[in-house]
Chains A and B, each alone.
Chain A
Amino acid sequence: MSVEAQQGIATPRIPAGLGGLLPALILIGLFFVVPVLALLLRSVTDPAPGLQNYAALLGDGTYARVFFNTFLVAAVVTIVTVLVAFPVAWMLAIMPPVLASILFGIIILSMWTNLLTRTYAWMVLLQRTGVINRALMGAGIIDQPLPLINNLTGVTIGMVYIMLPFMILPLVGTLRAIDPMTLRAAALCGASPLAAFRRILLPLSLPGIAAGGLMVFVMSLGYFVTPALLGGTSNMMLAEMIAQMIQSLLNWGLGSAAAFILLVVTMALYALQLRLVGARRTTGGA
């Protein structure tokens, strides 16, 4: 992050020439804007013109519950991810560079491993007869297997694991940009470590938390594989419901409407965050 941004001086940048942007704009138009418009169109025309798909979605208790679940899971995952990622990012930021780059390599490597493989690995670990429950029962700590899978716990564990790199990376960038002298100055002025964390480190790292948090939250909203495998049917998320509508029920109008509502809500949240945290801080953190 630049000094300018930290001080909050906005410097609007006007693109030198729109011509250079054209390929990117065409790409976005062709592969993002057009499909979204087609989606919107389908949601109000299939099977018949009108808003009946939206009425069906918003008027039904089941769909409302699935929407609620989706946001609940995304929120829980985001919060837990922040809590786990922060110490790791801090460690990475203050580690000797060689060690840090090795640790970075390990974190990035996990991102390259197939998502399904990783999720299945969690199934093996978390299930009733899985490694964790067997170990705990063998050690006499529990009598009955803990319900770690097919519920919110399983989804949270699996998704936090997958989302961690997306939180750690922007956070490390932010933390590294913080001048270590600020913390030393705080200590010299008599601040306890906790106070220094709360009043210096945390506020300064907020842009990174906001950037990572938003990314994790938005990605979680549309997640499919992990909730489908580690969750139970009673915490079904929207992506799974949309897949059912499209693949099994072949009700594309309804599926499109659900997808469009998710998109609108996500955009609204993004706009809200821009307003609260400020565009510079959200995008400038990484």
Chain B
Amino acid sequence: MKLIFAGILAGLMATTAAKADEMVFTSWGGTTQEAQTKSWAEPFSASSGIKVLQDGPTDYGKLKAMVDAKNVTWDVVDVEMDFAIKAAKDGLLEPIDFAVVPKDDLDPRFSNENAVGSFYYSFVLAWNKSAVSGEPASWADMFDTKKFPGKRTFYKWSAPGVIEIALLADGVPADKLYPLDLDRAFKKLDTIKSDIVWWGGGAESQQLIASGEAAFGQLWNGRVFALEKDGADVGVSWNQNLTAADVLVVPKGAKNKDAAMKFLAAATSPTGQAKFAEASGYAPINTKAKAEMPADVVKGLPDAHVDSQINLDMNYWAEHRDEIATRWYAWQAK
């Protein structure tokens, strides 16, 4: 008996203790992580000799469990920015070593002491052209069931986006969004609640729109980009596109911190960012990346729609994450 347990323990320790020339990168799987592997991990391994093992999907509960148990097997994790700000406050993250990671060219909106940008994206209004007559032009149209009948799809989880959309649709000016008026937002959402189909992940959002199951919806621009590339008959409005970002963090107590910092430097470099943007349709967080990208790719990025762009306030969300989430899920379950 003892022997067996000793054997299992030894086996576990052998698999969790990555060697010095290895590190683990965790992201959300699917097309996004594939693009990250190709654009960042493979060139990085080739130049540094450090092997990058892929894991995923990102799971905040798991991240916290690892840090709490002081057995951290992830070295770099792709997370949503509002989570990163909250996690840093809770002591779950290592500070970024800016001696290794060059900071000067990073978009200051998406980096801080404990996180560097991974990519930034916009929520855009997308629709299935065969399921919609006319062209929805603003979020307000998504709440107009007379003018635009049919199901509409929104992001299911409590996260920056839907609350802001409801408020914008209700006539709140972009610069007066924060602090969020939750009562007003939920009241507005109540008016279309029975017409909402929720999407929980990017692939689901694509499936809903492409099949016409939902006539329109709030989608990540990269997912619409992929639909268009596949030849799906979708329309997109960048009016009031809402930006949010994913960031890269190093969990507290990561075993390969040095390798992780070097990886971050490569991932946020102009070349790494340019390649990733080209593959995913998401925008680079390095201001020098655009110079390295083909013009037609630049045209399709959120960067090309800055005039009609609204930045979701990650700091506000980090501050009120729990409070909003509690109300959000209670409202959904009603």
B-contacting residues of A (Cβ < 8 Å)?
23, 26, 60-62, 65-66, 69, 127-130, 150, 228, 232-234, 236, 241, 244, 246-252
Contacts and interface: CB of A to CB of B under 8 A. Distances in A.
A247 B333 contact: no
Contacts of B197: 150
A248 B60 contact: yes
A23 B326 CA distance: 44
A236 B212 contact: no
Contact of A249 (B325, B330, B333): B325
A241 B332 CA distance: 11
Interface string B142-180: 000000000100001110000000000000000000000
Given A60-B330, A62-B330, A65-B334, 20 more contacts: A23-B1, A26-B1, A61-B330, A62-B334, A129-B211, A129-B212, A150-B197, A228-B200, A233-B156, A233-B198, A233-B333, A234-B334, A236-B329, A249-B321, A249-B322, A249-B326, A250-B61, A250-B90, A251-B322, A252-B61
Contacts of A247: 59-61
Contacts of B212: 129
Given A23-B1, A247-B59, A247-B61, A234 B333 contact: yes
Interface residues of B, number: 25
Most chain B CB within 10 A, of A128, A150, A250, is at A250
A65 B333 contact: yes
B74 to A, nearest CB: 15
A250 B332 CA distance: 19
Nearest to A128: B213
Contacts of A69: 333
A236 B333 contact: yes
Most chain A CB within 10 A, of B156, B197, B333, is at B333
B103 interface: no
Contacts of A252: 61, 64
Contacts of B332: 233-234, 236
Nearest to A150: B197
B164 to A, nearest CB: 18
Contacts of B329: 62, 236, 241, 244
Contacts of A128: 151, 213
A118 to B, nearest CB: 16
A76 B17 CA distance: 47
A248 B158 contact: yes
B314 to A, nearest CB: 16
B198 A248 contact: no
Contacts of A23: 1
B334 A248 contact: no
A150 B333 CA distance: 13
A233 B64 CA distance: 26
Nearest to A249: B325
Nearest to B151: A128
Contacts of A249: 321-322, 325-326
A-B pairs with the 8 shortest C-beta distances?
A233-B332, A62-B330, A247-B61, A246-B61, A127-B213, A236-B333, A129-B211, A129-B212
A232 B1 CA distance: 48
Contacts of B198: 150, 232-233
Interface in B307-334: 321-322, 325-326, 329-330, 332-334
B299 to A, nearest CB: 32
A250 B64 contact: yes
Interface in B1-42: 1
A43 B59 CA distance: 21
Nearest to A66: B333
B213 A129 contact: yes
17 contacts: A23-B1, A60-B330, A61-B330, A62-B329, A62-B330, A62-B333, A66-B333, A69-B333, A127-B211, A127-B213, A129-B213, A150-B197, A234-B332, A234-B333, A236-B329, A244-B329, A252-B64
A164 B211 CA distance: 30
Interface in B234-278: none
B194 to A, nearest CB: 10
Contacts of B334: 62, 65, 234
Contacts of B325: 244, 248-249
A232 B197 CA distance: 8
A127 B212 CA distance: 10
Contacts of A26: 1
Nearest to B329: A244
Interface in B60-108: 60-61, 64, 90
Nearest to B197: A150
Contacts of A228: 200
A150 B326 CA distance: 22
